[in-house]
Amino acid sequence: MTEPSVPHVVHITGARPNFPKAAPVIRALDARGIRQLLVHTGQHYDPIMSEVFFEQLGLPKPDVNLGVGSGTHAHQTAKVMTALEDMFQESRPALVIVYGDVNSTVAASLVCAKLGIRVAHVEAGLRSFDRTMPEEVNRVVTDALADLHFTTSADANVHLGAEGIDEHRIHFVGNPMIDTLLANLPLFDSDAARARLDLEGPYVVATLHRPSNVDDPVQAAAIVKALHAAAERVAVVIPLHPRGRAALQEAGLFDHERVTVTDPLGYVEFIGLVRGSAAVVTDSGGVQEETTMLGVPCLTLRPNTERPVTISHGTNRLVDHESLVGALQEVLDADPEDSPVTPPLWDGKAGERIAKIIAGVLAVN
Ligand code: UD1
Ligand code: UDP
């Protein structure tokens, strides 16, 4: 995107949810003529977890791929840190933009804080208040270190204020993930998704990858049992994240004739599938938001959510493996909502708002 030696902004991406969040910000900064460099840490590397988003979202090819790959939290985070420290010592960015709550995000924030490089956190202030989630640790640390906080919902501003972040650093801008959803709306073809997977009649989409759900064989088995019970009522399609594949297969996930397990899907194919579904069962963060915008009922298989606006203003509801089937039946029996209420500022313009604020910050110093 740009020569590294000239003043520039660096985007840190690495894992699947980063790409739809970064795309509108990159586009909006580009429209303002701001020099940018796109770093891919390599945290996700399978083409279907990474490359497909670059193709489908029109993202520029990364200028740098750190190739860190998989590993324990410390190993993965440390690899991103050492590679970025080397890179930033050679050419200092004017600002580094980090996204969401993945290990690549916190790693970049730590490096920048030590080198005195400013950090902007997109999707700041979300809190599940559950420190057993690796993402919660990443969010709290990233927000403590960031200089600019771009938030997607008003509750995030409150959390940041309670943690002592100066209000002048906090900007409620809306949701760039939703910018991407709205920009691509005409491409999400539920008939094509249905035909591709040979689905007839109503179906439910499920996605699972949280360590708390898929790493522990006992919990994985309980969830598989609940999904099989759901499949007695409605077909269940599961585009399966690589993390949980072995444990869920071992727990018998594939052994039900109305459960279809696929590899992860490309973004356009995935949202097309979700758009045509009767309901979604998930532990994903992004999917809670996307279902809210699409008006598709969402049952989140978690004890908490860092995205309560998807409950107060959306279609989301928290369930566990015991309440899942009852909640699903209620959703299947309910009349569809006429016009879903959507969260404030989820209007497709978050990227532009972020770019405007960044341009202002870069102009004054
Ligand atoms: C990461 C994020 C999580 C996010 C998720 C999105 C952290 C701590 N977690 O979780 O917040 O919700 O991405 O999808 O950053 N793997 C592959 N191919 C890949 C990538 C991963 O097979 O391209 C497998 C590897 O076995 C790897 C495992 O998935 O060990 C977990 O990958 P990792 O990036 O460590 O965490 P995720 O569970 O993907
Ligand atoms: N997604 C996709 N294909 C899939 C599953 C998910 O393209 O098979 C998209 C979906 O739009 C979601 C995003 O990937 O919002 C990131 O989802 P993930 O659940 O991996 O991460 P999280 O949001 O939980 O951090």
Task: Please give the mean pLDDT across all residues of the chain.
Answer: 96
CA-nearest residue, atom 29 of ligand 1: 243
Q: Which of the four pLDDT bands, split at 50, 70 and 90, describes residue 120?
A: very high
Give the chain's largest Cα–Cα span. 62
Which tokens hold the place of 46?
Answer: 């399978």
Residue range 9-175+346-361 in CATH 3.40.50.2000: yes
Q: Which of the four pLDDT bands, split at 50, 70 and 90, describes residue 5?
A: low
Query: Ligand 2 centroid vs 207 CA: distance in angstroms?
Result: 8
- Relative to the alpha carbon of 40, which ligand is closest? 1
Amino acid found at 320: D
Residue 3 has pLDDT above 70, yes or no: no
CA-nearest residue, atom 16 of ligand 2: 17
> pLDDT by residue (tens digit) across 269-327?
999 999 999 999 999 999 999 999 999 999 999 999 999 999 999 999 999 999 999 99
- 118 ligand 1 Cβ < 6 A: no
Q: Which of 8, 11, 44, 209 is catalytic?
A: 209
Whole-number pLDDT of residue 2: 52
- 21 ligand 1 Cβ < 6 A: no
Q: Which of the four pLDDT bands, split at 50, 70 and 90, describes residue 337?
A: confident
Q: Which of the four pLDDT bands, split at 50, 70 and 90, describes residue 65?
A: very high
The ranges assigned to domains in the chain are 9-175+346-361, 189-333
Beta strands in the chain (DSSP E): 9-13, 36-40, 64-65, 95-99, 119-122, 148-151, 170-172, 203-207, 235-239, 259-262, 279-282, 298-301, 316-319
Whole-number pLDDT of residue 6: 62
Q: Which of the four pLDDT bands, split at 50, 70 and 90, describes residue 341?
A: confident
The answer to whether the 9-175+346-361 and 189-333 domains have the same CATH topology is yes
Query: Ligand 2 centroid vs 280 CA: distance in angstroms?
Result: 13
Residue 29 has pLDDT above 90, yes or no: yes
CA-nearest residue, atom 14 of ligand 1: 16
Residue 4 has pLDDT above 70, yes or no: no
The full DSSP string for 122-148 is ETTT-----TTSHHHHHHHHHHHH-SE
| Catalytic residue check, 75 | no
Q: In ligand 1, which atom is closest to the CA atom of 285? A: 12
d(CA 303, CA 133): 11
> pLDDT by residue (tens digit) across 165-186?
999 999 999 999 999 999 999 9
Whole-number pLDDT of residue 220: 96
As a CATH number, domain 189-333 is: 3.40.50.2000
